[in-house]
Amino acid sequence: MAGKKLPEQYVLIKERHRGLFKAVENLGKAVRKEGPLKEKTAQLIQLAAAAAIRSEGAVHSHTRRAIEAGARPAEIYHAIILLTSTIGFPTVSAALSWAEDVIRGGRGEKG
């Protein structure tokens, strides 16, 4: 994430709660190592979960991480639109707009 402005809340938690933050980071690393899924697939799954819980920040984060892991925009859009019958079109539409923030280099890094 070099050269990227991190969201203000993310930075605040990292500074105030170093132990918690480190534990959360380590948990994320551990669960990704527990199975055979590649990083790109794992990030697309986490992106879908972020969309399902309507977390704009997590959609931004996992969109960015999916791209870093080699996902193309078409794969990101597909991962989100696959959720339409599960989470509904309005939530999918919102998640697509949040993913687009990052894909187009817009406000996905806001604090």
Q: Which H helix or E strand runs over 7?
A: none
- d(C-alpha 44, C-alpha 63), whole Å: 8
The confidence score (pLDDT) of residue 9 equals 87
pTM score: 0.84
State residue 3's pLDDT score. 52
Per-residue pLDDT of the chain (111 residues; tens, 9 = 90+): 445 677 888 899 999 999 999 999 999 899 989 999 999 999 999 999 999 999 999 999 999 999 999 999 999 999 999 999 999 999 999 999 999 999 998 555 443
Terminal-residue alpha carbon distance, the chain = 15
Task: Count other C-beta atoms under 10 Å from residue 44's C-beta.
Answer: 24
Buried b (16+ CB within 10 A) or exposed e, 72-101: eeebbbebbeebeeebeeebbebbbebbbb
The CATH class, in words, for 38-106 is mainly alpha
